[in-house]
Amino acid sequence: MSDSFHLGIDLGTSRTSITCSNGVRETIWSYVGYPQDHVAKKLLGGRDVIFGKEAVEHRMSVNLIRPLAGGSIKTRDGSDTDAMKRALRDLLGHAIAMAKVPAGSTIYAVIGAPAEASVEGKAAIIEAANQFVDSVIVCSEPFSVAYGLDFLNDTLVIDIGAGTTDLCRVHGTMPKPDDQRTHEIGGDAIDEELMRLVNEHHPEAQVSVHKIREIKEKFGSVSRNMDSVSVTLPVSGKPQEFDVTQLVYEACYILVPPTVAALQDLIATYDPDFQEKMRNNILLGGGGSQIPGLGRAIAEALDEYGGGNVTTVEEPQYAGSNGALKIAVDLPDEYWTEFHATAATEPATETMEDQA
């Protein structure tokens, strides 16, 4: 009988992380690149596809795709092109290969998806993953963060990704649809706002979205005492210094109002006897949680509703995949065996909500 391995995967718009029961942990930028022509393929050493940071660095030579940036996975009324489906499959295959699971092993995987990902989006993830693993289920990304850290009772989880911010109300059971909220202000929206502000205040500067993302990731902050931010941008090809401190602050702060509104909605629709406890037990995760001052800004914005306490996860890069792995390991062996047998004859469409 082959050995069994469990995988936890955090499938993010910006980054994809994987944690394996063999101790391997890896993360990669969620980009896939396909050579534009035979010259590009020669440049890439004959490869038909490249991934992550390498794909971004060679974006002038490849067709660059972010398979989690749109379509039915991120938006309920979206659709997935064949190119997006192919890129999603290739990205998942590459991530799973990074786990270095021995050939012939039985692989069971739990994959974190946006809290309100569409049925079609979850099905697309499962369809892609089924080509590389023996059994797979999809769960809510914020729930996997909470599960991995044992925040399972009267907790509000915020998972800030690139494409969306997902929120989940956790109260000792599997979350139901009405326990979850998603809004579309995340890292990408910050990039768009910062680009708009730079173009408005410094129209002479030449700047790409990749440079804007680099500025955000290096200097992003909503702290009242943030350091000044000076960046070098070309003007007609000549480097010039620009102070963008206030612009960076304003762009990052757009996360706060919609997140607080979603939090208050989840609190207000919860049992009134437990609302205060939940408001003071907020867990902030995802890549966006690394923005300095964000937890405090959210807590301060909750003052008009009675205040709140926000805890930022210590390891946002792997909090989701660690939690997904923990779910996979904790599921009874007979569940995986039964589901594996069913999936061998029927298309697999299992999600954690189906287990509730």
Domain count, the chain: 2
Contact 9, 18 (CB under 8 A): yes
Range of 162's domain?
A: 147-185+254-316
How many angstroms separate the Cα of 282 from the Cα of each of 94, 222, 329? Answer: 34, 18, 26
Residue 199 Cα distances to 19, 21, 213, 220, angstroms: 40, 47, 15, 18
> Looking at the domain assignment, is residue 260 inside a domain?
yes
Express each pLDDT in 154-170 by its tens digit.
899 999 988 889 899 99
> Does 264 share its domain with 247?
no
pLDDT < 50 stretches in the chain? 1, 341-349, 355-356
Q: What is the pLDDT of residues 174-205, one digit of tens each?
A: 888 889 888 889 999 999 999 999 999 999 99
| Residues 162, 248 share a domain | no
Give domain status of residue 306, yes or no. Answer: yes
What is the CATH number for 244? Answer: 3.30.420.40
Q: In angstroms, rounded to a whole number, what is the distance separating the alpha carbons of residues 187 and 160?
A: 8
Question: 158, exposed or middle or buried, with CB in 10 Å at 0-12, 13-18, 19+?
Answer: buried
- Residue 262 inside a domain? The answer is yes
Residue 14 falls inside a structural domain: no
Same domain, 192 and 312: no
DSSP state letter for 237:
T
Q: Are residues 312 and 261 in the same domain?
A: yes
Query: DSSP letters of 50-92?
Result: EEHHHHHHTTTTEEEE-TTSSHHHH-TT----HHHHHHHHHHH
pTM (2 d.p.): 0.81
> From CA 142, how far away is CA 157, in angstroms rounded?
6
